[in-house]
Amino acid sequence: MRYPVHMTPQIPGIHHVTAIASDPQQNVDFYAGVLGLRLIKRTVNFDDPGTYHLYYGDAAGRPGTIMTFFPWPGAPRGQVGTGQVSVTAFSIPPTALGYWQERLRSRGVKVDGPKSRFDELVLAFTDPDGLPLELAASVGGDDRQAWADGPVPARHAIRGFHGVTLAERGPEEGCGHTLRLLTEGLDFRQIGEAGNRFRYAMSAGGPGALVDVLYLSGAPRGQIAAGTVHHVAWRVPDDEQQAAWRHQILQFGLDVTPVRDRQYFRSIYFREPGGVLFEIATDSPGFGVDESLEALGSGLRLPPWLEPRRRQLERTLPPLRLPESVRAGQPPLDAPFTGPASDPGRPAQPARPAACSR
């Protein structure tokens, strides 16, 4: 495979990570109530409007802090394996490790660590669906501001993403091309190596701009369902740079989707050689296009083409409530629900979500 010379500006970091969940209320309770992230948008999966799309992040939902979920009630448990983002790591201050150990354990979450890796200490655990997560405290710290009004004191709170881990089989099964794509195509640079783990940095590096490639030769392929990551999105500032990246990726011989309007950003999607679904998403227009900063996440927000179906969707989607510990820092969820929480026409489970579902 011939790789062209990289000409586009560097990718500054992660935009968001999207995963599959089962029960939506359980998802809100954990990510808003336990992890202390702000529920910044409550909308629907545009390709399956009978399903929520929930977004969590910092106070304003800035790129690099956004974790999103498609929660399918009753969804089966997936299998984390190769060809997937196998771990999503959030960044915390070094002084917050003890706080998080106690907070998670007091809420029945089994915690492994802290363990040393590169220049960081890491706590590992899973969410209620078994999604592997980490809290990473870098020696250099993280100067991003936490949500000041959340249930976790700001001095301890999550700052955003630290990085992601891509689980790959050996070079003979695509990982070699994956590494070449990262370095020669996407302009990531290798900054560390520990056994079968290779660390790469985007742009200036640091929290929110790190990706680990983990060789798992002979390991089973991942199966997308509850408790697995659907895709990881890299950020670009605007449409012009996104178009340049789309051209660049096509030059690699990879299939890339047309630009998709996701209301809060625009997206293109492609699979890297090892099978992980990548997205490149614009920073603009952001989550303030249909809600004020103060009201983020408080109502069911629909794109214009779904507004005619609002009443039907409000009857279909199950009601949600914020955990008591979050309510002081966020408006109540105010969308009306007057009908049953199920729809005979709704998919019962995400047997295999569409490759570019958002």
Instruction: For residue range 84-126, list pLDDT tens digits in order.
Output: 999 999 999 999 999 999 999 999 999 999 999 999 999 999 9
Give the integer Cα–Cα distance in Å for 346 and 77: 19
Instruction: Kindly list the domain boundaries of the chain, sorted by start residue.
Output: 14-289
Given a cut of 50, whether residue 358 has pLDDT beyond it is no
Residue 79's pLDDT is: 96
Looking at residue 197, its amino acid is: R
Q: How far apart are CA 127 and CA 133, in angstroms?
A: 7
pLDDT value, residue 332: 72
Mean pLDDT of the chain: 89
With a cut of 80, say whether residue 244 has pLDDT above it: yes
CA-CA distance, 304 to 307, in Å (whole number)? Answer: 5
For position 3, what pLDDT does the model report? 40
**CATH second-level architecture of 14-289?**
Roll (3.10)
pLDDT of 229 strictly over 80 = yes
pLDDT band at 172 (very low <50, low <70, confident <90, very high): low
d(CA 40, CA 296): 5
Q: Could you tell me the two tokens for 337?
A: 């629900």
The model's pLDDT over 327-356, given as tens digits with 9 standing for 90+, comes to 766 777 764 433 323 322 233 333 333 333
DSSP single-letter state for residue 83: T
325/29 Cα distance (integer angstroms):
10
| Cα(133)–Cα(294) distance, integer angstroms | 28
CA distance 256 to 278: 10
Element at 313 (helix H, strand E):
helix 310-316
Confidence of residue 231 (pLDDT cuts 50, 70, 90): very high
Q: What is the pLDDT of residue 294?
A: 93
- Average the pLDDT over 269-292 and give the result: 96
| Range 315-320 contact pairs with CB under 8 angstroms and sequence separation of 24 or more | 315/339, 315/340, 315/343, 316/50, 316/340, 316/341, 316/342, 316/343, 316/346, 317/44, 317/50, 317/51, 317/52, 317/341, 318/24, 318/25, 318/73, 320/24, 320/25, 320/28, 320/42, 320/52
